[in-house]
Chains A and B, each alone.
Chain A
Amino acid sequence: MKTNELISSGILEAYVMHVATPEEIRLVEEALVDPVIAQELEEIRDTLADFSIKMEKPVPASVKANLDRLLFAEEAATHTTEPAPQVQAPEPKVIQMNTSSGSKFRFLAAAASLALLISLGANTYQFMSYQQVRDRMAELESSNTVLAGEIKVVKQDLGFYGTISNFFEKGDIKTYELAAVGEKQGKAVVFFDAKTGKVAIKATELPELSNEYQYQLWALVDGKPIDMGMIPNDSVGKDQLAMLKSVKGMQAFAITKEPYGGKPSPTLEEMVVMGKV
């Protein structure tokens, strides 16, 4: 295939997007020696990079904490177990002892030994305080990392509360209480924005679930249950709101307990709470 043909074929785009067929991949990789093709590929890559960098989704702080543990825990450990710098004891002066010339040399030898002892003592003292400073620094560094992590979480929370407060300020909010069904326990509150159809849920009074389960919210529209999304387990039983999917024209809301990730249609015997609109 000629350079121009390849460029206008759409194959380079498929290659960059990782959706090319094996045959197309071979074609592109053979053509890579051509600088025009290589340049075109890089431009397509940059275009898509510029495009996708405009999307953002907040990442839970746990991911960074895991990465720090995976990638830098070893480093931190080797830092602390790193052998302490050797204390350089001053070289003792060797003085030829002339046994025949008696007490003068004995006095000098004693003085030299004393000087050595004092110097060793001073060194040890200095080394100990050096170690203390180092330990203190390591402590400060790690508390710094912890703080940075916490700040990130707070920032994310703030972003979320911004969304929530916007929802309540700008919306035309209706509140629906969902009451326990049959023998089931608990209740929940749905906040529904009649203007936009956005829905927030407060699951403070639902029993907490183990990790294999999640609560799923449903809206009943013209007699059919519509999936409204999963209520995050960490907002269950807490004084927290979760934003779920949007809906319009519903007659009721209900919550079922489902396997983690939810189901396309509700398990009716696991219906926990329900409320008519």
Chain B
Amino acid sequence: MKYTEEEIVALLRQRSKKGFDYLYENYSRSIYAVVSNLIPDEDDAQDLLQEIFVKIWNNFSQYDDSKGRLYTWMLNIARNAAIDKTRSKDYKKDLKNQSLDYSVSAINGRNSSEQYVDHIGLDKILDTLKEDQRILVDYIYLKGYTQAEVADMLNIPLGTVKTRIRNAILTLRDKVVEQ
């Protein structure tokens, strides 16, 4: 069974379980990949994924299809929840312990998200980015570090981080549209 986006939205507005099941079936794996990159602990990531889908279901009336696409809206909720968690007090400790591993993997030249995620064409897209852009997408978008943290870690000016990440996303925009 394949629904159009309008049909899923209509089903969800009617509070249909079918709509929810479809949403879950189609998007849970990719939301889970996003969450897992930010929250490496599997149990934590699964708990959070569950919370995210509860939020999506409970707050569905807030989704306005004239303002944007459904997955974009869901992703926003997911990242919000995951980043909030990484910024929470008890989480920060863990993150500090991990930051060393991440720097090591960056030096090795391959992003550490690989061990968590099955990529579908993602590598191809990431490969179109320059190395310095790719590292920023990895740290900031996938891992949720702030621009200031990354500037500090990689020892580059904050302004440079900002323009590089913008250029990276402009490149992605072209590549994703091309596909």
Evaluate contact between B125 and A54: CB separation under 8 angstroms: yes
- The dominant DSSP class at the B interface is helix
Contact string against B for A residues 25-67, beta-carbon threshold 8 Å, 1 for contact and 0 otherwise = 0000000000000000011111111111111111110111011
B135 within 8 A of A: no
Evaluate contact between B162 and A14: CB separation under 8 angstroms: yes
Q: How far is the CA of A126 from the CA of B110 in the complex (A)?
A: 69
A70 within 8 A of B: yes
Give the distance to chain A from B22, nearest Cβ to Cβ, in Å: 12
Task: Name the residue in A43, A44, A55, A59 with the highest tally of chain B Cβ atoms < 10 Å from its Cβ.
Answer: A55
B122 within 8 A of A: yes
B8 within 8 A of A: no
Give the distance to chain A from B168, nearest Cβ to Cβ, in Å: 8
The contact sample of 9 A-B pairs, CB cut-off 8 A, is A9-B166, A42-B72, A52-B141, A53-B75, A56-B32, A57-B29, A62-B46, A63-B49, A64-B24
Evaluate contact between A48 and B29: CB separation under 8 angstroms: no
Evaluate contact between B169 and A18: CB separation under 8 angstroms: no
Contacts of A42 in B (CB 8 A): 67-68, 72
Evaluate contact between A71 and B146: CB separation under 8 angstroms: no
Evaluate contact between A56 and B29: CB separation under 8 angstroms: yes
Within 8 Å by CB of A47, from B28, B164, B169, lies B169
Within 8 Å by CB of B141, from A17, A21, A46, A57, lies A17
Within 8 Å by CB of B146, from A11, A19, A53, lies A19
Contacts of B30 in A (CB 8 A): 52-57
A208 within 8 A of B: no
Evaluate contact between B50 and A67: CB separation under 8 angstroms: yes
- Known contacts A47-B169, A51-B122, A63-B49; A71/B57 CB under 8 A: yes
Contact string against A for B residues 42-70, beta-carbon threshold 8 Å, 1 for contact and 0 otherwise = 00001001100110010000000001110
Evaluate contact between B173 and A47: CB separation under 8 angstroms: yes
A261 within 8 A of B: yes
Within 8 Å by CB of B69, from A8, A18, A46, lies A46
A42-B72, A50-B176, A51-B125 are known; give 7 further A-B pairs, CB within 8 A: A9-B162, A43-B173, A49-B75, A58-B32, A63-B28, A63-B50, A64-B28
Evaluate contact between B120 and A55: CB separation under 8 angstroms: yes
A270 within 8 A of B: no
Q: How far is the CA of A245 from the CA of B116 in the complex (A)?
A: 11
Evaluate contact between B116 and A261: CB separation under 8 angstroms: no
Give the distance to chain B from A62, nearest Cβ to Cβ, in Å: 8
- Known contacts A19-B145, A45-B68, A49-B71; A10/B29 CB under 8 A: no
A264 within 8 A of B: yes
Give the distance to chain A from B31, nearest Cβ to Cβ, in Å: 9
Contacts of B118 in A (CB 8 A): 55-58
B88 within 8 A of A: no
Evaluate contact between A19 and B75: CB separation under 8 angstroms: no
B41 within 8 A of A: yes
Contact string against A for B residues 105-132, beta-carbon threshold 8 Å, 1 for contact and 0 otherwise = 0000000010111111110010000000
- Known contacts A8-B166, A18-B80; A66/B50 CB under 8 A: yes
Evaluate contact between B69 and A49: CB separation under 8 angstroms: yes
